């Protein structure tokens, strides 16, 4: 149980720090390098750049620190799964769920954001733990 609590704590710390990395890079690009002009030009480039760096940062820390997957024999599969999960989270949670909660059900924005963030954290943890960063050798050894 203690190992699980440590893993969940690490998962949340990495997720929170990935958000900070994303936020800081975005603000650096927008306010320090002048990417704030042309909404669908430079701001979009800045946002995609900061998100891509945060995804790479999150992948490395979740793999090596949270889930203790030091082997690199499945790194391509793991990265594709991790990146796909991030895209799914953006589309499903932020577009569909957030809009449904706020626009259709009239749940206030702060409450909608909390519901979306908690749902996203729970499902992401479960998918990472049981699908993306699963230790196939340990599963083979158990059978």
Using CB atoms within 10 Å of the CB of residue 18, give its burial: 0 to 12 exposed, 13 to 18 middle, 19+ buried: buried
Q: How far is CA 83 from CA 28, 37, 65, 80, in A?
A: 23, 28, 18, 5
Eight-state DSSP code of residue 102: I
Quote the tokens at residue 85. Answer: 């999960």
pLDDT digits (tens), the chain, 143 positions: 888 899 999 999 999 999 999 999 988 988 888 776 655 567 778 888 899 999 999 999 999 999 998 888 889 999 999 999 999 988 888 777 777 888 889 888 788 888 888 899 999 999 999 999 987 655 455 55
Contacts of 127 (CB under 8 A, 6+ apart): 81, 85
Using CA atoms, how far apart are residues 28 and 132, in angstroms rounded to an integer? Answer: 32
Using CA atoms, how far apart are residues 135 and 131, in angstroms rounded to an integer? Answer: 9
pTM of the model: 0.80
The sign of the dihedral angle between the CA atoms of 64, 68, 71, 72 is negative
Contacts of 135 (CB under 8 A, 6+ apart): 69
């Amino acid at each position: 149980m203690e190992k699980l609590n440590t893993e969940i704590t690490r998962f949340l710390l990495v997720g929170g720090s990935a958000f900070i990395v994303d936020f800081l890079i975005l603000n650096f690009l927008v306010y320090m390098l002048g990417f704030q002009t042309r909404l669908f030009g430079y701001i979009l480039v800045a946002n995609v750049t900061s998100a891509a760096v945060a995804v790479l940062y999150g992948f490395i820390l979740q793999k090596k620190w949270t889930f203790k997957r030091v082997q690199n024999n499945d790194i391509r599969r793991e990265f594709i799964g991790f990146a796909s999960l991030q895209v799914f989270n953006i589309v499903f949670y932020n577009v569909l769920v957030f809009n449904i909660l706020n626009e259709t059900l009239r749940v206030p924005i702060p409450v909608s954001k909390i519901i979306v963030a908690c749902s996203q954290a729970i499902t992401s943890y479960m998918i990472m733990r049981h699908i993306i960063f699963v230790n196939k050798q340990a599963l083979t050894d158990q059978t």
